[in-house]
């Protein structure tokens, strides 16, 4: 069974640009979550989507947004990029239940903002 797939693997952008990251969950998984990982702040939760609806959100500015498609694939968008947005962006998928859920991560997209 294929794991969580994230594309692209690496991205270089300049300040002010916007970027879109893509995530394909494990087959049969309906929940997709996004996390940001930086050396200073560690892993932080961005948001979670289930059945094309955002059902949970972390403490990030509105420049960070996402969406989920009917096939459970998800995209994350960051507008007006800042230097501090340089990070590893990780996508994780799960079956989509409420409590007892195991979360499986992709390898991430490494974003560098210059």
Partner 1 sequence: QKEVEQDPGPLSVPEGAIVSLNCTYSNSAFQYFMWYRQYSRKGPELLMYTYSSGNKEDGRFTAQVDKSSKYISLFIRDSQPSDSATYLCAMKAGGYNKLIFGAGTRLAVHP
- Establish if 48 lies at the interface with partner 1 (CB under 8 A): yes
Stretch that binds partner 1, among 14-22, 36-44, 63-71, 72-80 (CB under 8 A): 36-44
Q: Which residue, 105, 97, 93, 85, is CA-closest to 32?
A: 93
CA-CA distance, 75 to 23, in Å (whole number)? 6
The distance of closest approach from Cβ of residue 70 to partner 1 in the complex, given in angstroms and rounded to an integer, is 20
List the interface residues with partner 1, window 74-93 (CB under 8 A): 90, 92
Identify whether the C-beta of residue 95 lies closer than 8 Å to the C-beta of residue 30. Answer: yes
Binds partner 1 (CB under 8 A): choice among 33, 62, 70, 112: 33
> Using the rule CB under 8 A, which residue among 19, 25, 31, 87 binds partner 1?
31
10 versus 70: smaller Cβ distance to partner 1: 10
Q: How far is the CB of 91 from partner 1 (least distance, A)?
A: 8
Query: CB-wise, 15 or 57, nearer to partner 1?
Result: 57
Q: Is 60 in the site for partner 1 (CB under 8 A)?
A: no
Decide: 18 and 79 in contact? Cβ < 8 Å: yes
3-class SS string, 18-70: CEEEEEECCCCCCEEEEEEEECCCEEEEEEEEECCEEEEECCCCCCEEEEECC
């Amino acid at each position: 069974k294929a794991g969580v797939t994230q594309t692209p693997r690496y991205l270089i952008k300049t300040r002010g640009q916007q970027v879109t990251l893509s995530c394909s969950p494990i087959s049969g998984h309906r929940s997709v979550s996004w996390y940001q990982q930086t050396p200073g702040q560690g892993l932080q939760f961005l948001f979670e989507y289930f059945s094309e609806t955002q059902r949970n959100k972390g403490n990030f500015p509105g420049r960070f947004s996402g969406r989920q498609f009917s096939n459970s694939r998800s995209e994350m968008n960051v507008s007006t990029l800042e230097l501090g947005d340089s990070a590893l962006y990780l996508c994780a998928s799960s079956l989509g239940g409420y409590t007892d859920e195991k979360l499986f991560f992709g390898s991430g997209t490494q974003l560098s903002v210059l």
